[in-house]
Structures are given as C-alpha cells and as structure tokens.
C-alpha cells in the first residue's frame, strides 16, 4: 500500500551535484514515488549564497542556516553534497541526533572520519550511505559491500579520478607534455583552477581509503594510504612504457597480503600492460578492477564525476535509505570485524622500471647489476643506449619490496658512474 505522507529530504549544498539532485527529484518524482513506496519532498536547501537564482527550486526552500534545517525534527533524510570536513561533519552528526538518515558524497570526510560517523549513525539507528563518494555514477560501493559480502576480496585496483586519467591519456595519445595536457584539461573543464587535489593524488587516496575499508572489513584512514602524485610523469616515461607494451595510469591499489594477515592501500602512477582492461580506459572515465576468490575478476566502468553522474549515485542511495525508513530498518553499517593491520609502503611488493643516466664506459652495467644483487632485487631485463660518454640504462626488475628498491636506488646514487636517476615507476597489473 502506498503511503501518502511524503518523506522529507533536506539538501545541503546546491552546486553542480546538488542542483542535479534537486532537478531529478522534481522531474522524476512519480518514478521515485513508485520505487520507494511513498512520495519524497524537498523540504529545504542549505546554501552559502541565497541570492543566486536556482531554477526549479522554490525560493522559500532556500536557507543559509544549515544547522537549523537538519535540526527540524521532521526531516527523514539529509543529502550532504557540500564537501570538505567542516561544517559537513558537524551537520551530519546533528542530522543523526535529530532523527535523519544521511546520504553523502563526501569522500574526504568519510576517508578521515568514516568510523566515527558510522558509530553515531548506529547509535541513533540511522543509515549512512555514500555510493557517490568514490566513483561518481559507477555502482561500486554497494556491489563490494553487499553483492560480494559472501566472497573474499583480495585486490581492488582502479582509475578513480577522471582529471588525471584525461591528462595521462592525452599525454599517451598525442605525445603532449604534462603541462600542455593539464592546460587542455583545464580549458575543457575537467581540471579545477587549482588541480592539486587531483594531480597530487589526494582525491584518489581518499577513495582508496574508503574502498579498502569496505573490501577488507578493516578501518583504513586517509593517513594509512601511501600517496604519490603524477606531476613528474614525462613524455619519456610514456615512450619507455610503449617499448614495454604498456601505458601509464594513476592507480588506486588496495590489496590483501599473500598471507592474508595485513592490507595495503596506495595511490601512484604505474605502468600497466596494454592487455589489461584498465589500460583501455580513456578520457575522463573511471574504472575499478576487483579480484576475489569466488567471483574472480570483475570490472566496473563509467563516468566518475560530473553533476548528473554523481547525482545518479546520490539518488540511488536516497531510494535505498527511504525504503529502509519506510520498513523501519537500516542497511549495512560499518564492517570492520577483520581489523587487519595496514602495512607501510615499504612492505609492498611489485615490479619496477628504473631509468638511469650513466657514464658510457665498460663495467657500468656490471656495477649496477651488483648493487641490485646486493639489495636482493632481481633484474628481469636491461636496455642500454648511449654515445659521447653518456648513456641511458633502463632496468626492469622482477617483483621486489618497496624497501628493497629504495635501498637499491640510494646505493646507485652513490656510484660515480651513475649520473642520476631519471625516473622510477612501478609496473602493475601483470
């Protein structure tokens, strides 16, 4: 039987995503009512600039007092799309305390304080959903948290930032340098005026923390995620990657140790074979590759940002939370029972591509090989070229720990015959 009293929704933020949420709630009202079992009503919209014209939103719904809005007591669901840590954290906590469930797209807050927010939600018997926080429109959190709940996930590896993928794809396909590709991304609206959060990996690291926590039933905070940006990637790196049959992507990688006793989470540029499904992800698209015991290999692909795609994920959560509200239940909360330790980056084992500038004379290769051997790093292939007393030496290793590789590079820098380390890049997906 359809309930006639509407479920009331408070919207915090009315920017690119928030305005799309409000639009879809209005234009798809009948469909949402049929899917939920009751009408949903936009009861208030909290903004910073009340004078701005917001098409489709009645002016009387707009307020600058977000705290008063979430404290009303008649609000069923608060949708938070303002981002950042504060005031979002305080508003979400207040919403729980005053009887509302919460749908959020706030990756930074969830990566930093997700455990605390889940605890408050559980204390008050309310839902906290955040599908839109990780990969825009791509259904990812719910499949990992619910569809694969009976499976054991061993690895989650993906492209979770569209801006960086656009830049790297442009460098790969056109031979452009980093700055040239960034300028084009900015002109097209893919990159912010200050792209630091994207290109230095902060955005992807927050998403990696959320994904690792869900996949491994372990609390993983932003501080646990190793982060390395992509601003030092050059056209020469892409040329080297192509010689190996690879391309370069900024990857978020969350994996369980082989013995199952710990997990790691990291974000960094990496060479990936062209045969891997992630290598074909072009432009500003996102994709996440999941490996589990029973299901095997799964890939989730689609637009990872933008108003409409992100709003789609928000509305999906809104429908689920409203259904729970009607039935008097809550969905899955935090699952951190495994409580696995998060290992440091030094324990991560992978392959490496190292490019060295060396003196072009006999014995150099032997010296370099000896350093690798002394640090327990096995060499897979070596390529050397040069003239006029200078040479380039490219070494690709077998799998080695990050700590062992770091020690190797430090020792190489001390050799008189090594002029410099041109680049170091991990090789993933093999």
Catalytic annotation, residues: 207
- b/e per residue, 188-221, with b = 16+ CB within 10 A? eebbeeebebbbbbbbbbbbbbbbbbbbbbbbbb
Pairing, β 153-159 against β 285-292: antiparallel
Task: Give the CA dihedral 215, 139, 322, 85, nearest 10 degrees.
Answer: 70
What CA–CA distance (Å, rounded) separates 287 from 251?
10
353's CB contacts (< 8 A; 6+ apart) are: 240, 241, 244, 271, 394, 395, 396, 423, 424, 425, 426, 427
Query: Cα 97 from chain centroid?
Result: 29
First to last CA, the chain: 53
Element (H, E) at 309: helix 307-327
The residues near 385 (Cβ < 8 Å, ≥ 6 apart) are 391, 392
Closest Cα to residue 252, out of 213, 217, 219?
213
Long-range contacts from 360-366, C-beta under 8 angstroms, 24+ separation: 360/386, 360/387, 360/388, 360/389, 360/390, 360/391, 361/389, 361/417, 363/417, 364/391, 364/393, 364/417, 365/393
d(CA 252, CA 227): 9
Under 8 Å between Cβ of 286 and 136: yes
* Distance of alpha carbon 145 from alpha carbon 151, whole angstroms: 10
R_g of the chain computed on alpha carbons: 24
Asked if 127 and 153 touch (Cβ cutoff 8 Å), the reply is no
């Amino acid at each position: 039987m359809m309930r006639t009293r509407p479920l009331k929704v408070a919207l915090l933020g009315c920017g690119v995503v928030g305005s799309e949420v409000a639009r879809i709630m209005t234009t798809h009202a009948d469909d949402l009512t049929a899917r939920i079992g009751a009408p949903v009503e936009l009861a208030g919209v909290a903004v910073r600039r009340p004078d701005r014209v917001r098409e489709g939103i009645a002016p009387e719904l707009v307020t600058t007092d977000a705290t008063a809005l979430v404290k009303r007591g008649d609000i069923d669901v608060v949708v938070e799309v303002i981002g950042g840590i504060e005031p979002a954290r305080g508003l979400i906590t207040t919403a729980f305390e005053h009887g509302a469930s919460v749908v959020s797209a706030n990756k930074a807050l969830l990566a930093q304080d997700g455990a605390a927010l889940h605890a408050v939600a559980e204390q008050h018997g309310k839902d906290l959903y955040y599908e839109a926080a990780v990969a825009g429109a791509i259904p990812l959190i719910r499949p990992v948290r619910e569809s694969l709940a009976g499976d054991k996930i061993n690895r989650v590896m993906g492209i979770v930032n569209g801006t960086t993928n656009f830049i790297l794809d442009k460098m790969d396909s056109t031979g452009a340098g980093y700055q040239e590709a960034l300028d084009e991304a900015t002109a097209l609206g893919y990159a912010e005026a200050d792209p630091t959060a994207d290109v230095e990996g902060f955005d992807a690291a927050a998403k990696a923390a959320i994904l690792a926590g869900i996949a491994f039933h372990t609390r993983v905070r932003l501080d646990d995620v190793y982060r390395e940006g992509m601003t030092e990637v050059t056209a020469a790196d892409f040329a080297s990657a192509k010689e190996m049959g690879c391309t370069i992507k900024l990857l978020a990688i969350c994996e369980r140790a082989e013995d199952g006793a710990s997990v790691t989470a990291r974000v960094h540029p990496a060479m990936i074979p062209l045969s891997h499904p992630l290598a074909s992800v072009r432009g500003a698209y996102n994709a996440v590759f999941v490996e589990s015991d029973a299901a095997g290999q799964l890939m989730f692909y689609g637009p990872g940002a933008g108003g409409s795609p992100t709003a789609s994920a928000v509305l999906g959560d809104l429908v689920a939370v409203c259904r729970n509200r009607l039935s008097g239940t809550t969905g899955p909360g935090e699952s951190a029972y495994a409580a696995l330790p998060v290992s440091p980056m030094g324990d991560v084992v992978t392959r490496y591509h190292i490019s060295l500038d060396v003196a072009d004379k006999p014995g150099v290769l032997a010296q370099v090989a000896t350093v690798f051997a002394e640090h327990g790093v096995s060499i897979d292939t070596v390529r050397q070229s040069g003239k006029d007393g200078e040479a380039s030496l490219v070494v690709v290793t077998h799998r080695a720990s990050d700590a062992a590789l770091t020690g190797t590079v430090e020792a190489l820098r001390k050799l008189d015959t090594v002029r410099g380390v041109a680049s170091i890049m991990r090789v993933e997906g093999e």
